[in-house]
């Protein structure tokens, strides 16, 4: 059984590639990397083909995450055919995704931080124009949500779980 996860932010150079890289790391450590496919995209077309923001890469590298192979791309309507989870970093991007999603999409379309267990925020703030520790704060939020998402997927998508999954939880 394969599960496909897409992380989405505005430009696909800060938050969503961070989630992509961290989640891949969690999957590797848990030996779930062969069961879950991960990607990231942006709702805008500003950074197609570009590497993540150097500040994002540097902050992630300090914590042992490698984002160097990732490149920006724009989310498409076809992504809803390919991904079981389409997770937005904030409400504005979620609204854009809801507009793009086909009416019959049966996967989980929602906010990524809904999977966080130690945070009270529901949106990952965009660190792009921020100062100081914005990238570190984003890492904290995303690490928490990635751990929660992995637990959720392990619970709902293991061989012993039902083939019919309730995406409302």
Which residues does the annotation mark as catalytic? 9, 15, 126
The answer to whether 112 and 125 have CB atoms below 8 angstroms apart is: no
The answer to whether 154 and 26 have CB atoms below 8 angstroms apart is: no
**DSSP code per residue over 44-65:** SSTTTTPPPPHHHHHHHHHTT-
Please list, in sequence order, all residues whose beta carbon lies within 8 angstroms of the beta carbon of residue 40, skipping any fewer than 6 positions away.
Answer: 6, 7, 8, 9, 12, 16, 17, 19, 20, 70, 73
């Amino acid at each position: 059984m394969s599960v496909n996860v897409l992380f989405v932010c505005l430009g696909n150079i800060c938050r969503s590639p961070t989630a992509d890289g961290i989640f891949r790391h969690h999957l590797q450590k848990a030996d779930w990397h062969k069961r879950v496919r991960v990607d990231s995209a942006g709702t805008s077309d500003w950074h197609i083909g570009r590497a993540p923001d150097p500040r994002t890469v540097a902050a992630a590298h300090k914590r042992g995450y490698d984002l160097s192979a990732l490149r920006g791309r724009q989310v498409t309507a076809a992504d809803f055919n390919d991904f079981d989870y389409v997770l937005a970093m904030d409400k504005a991007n979620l609204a854009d995704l809801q507009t793009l999603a086909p009416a019959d999409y049966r996967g989980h379309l929602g906010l990524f931080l809904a999977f966080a267990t130690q945070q009270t925020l529901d949106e990952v703030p965009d660190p792009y124009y921020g100062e100081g520790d914005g990238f570190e704060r984003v890492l904290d939020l995303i690490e928490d949500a990635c751990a929660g998402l992995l637990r959720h997927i392990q619970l709902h998508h293991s061989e012993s779980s039902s083939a019919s999954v309730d995406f409302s939880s």
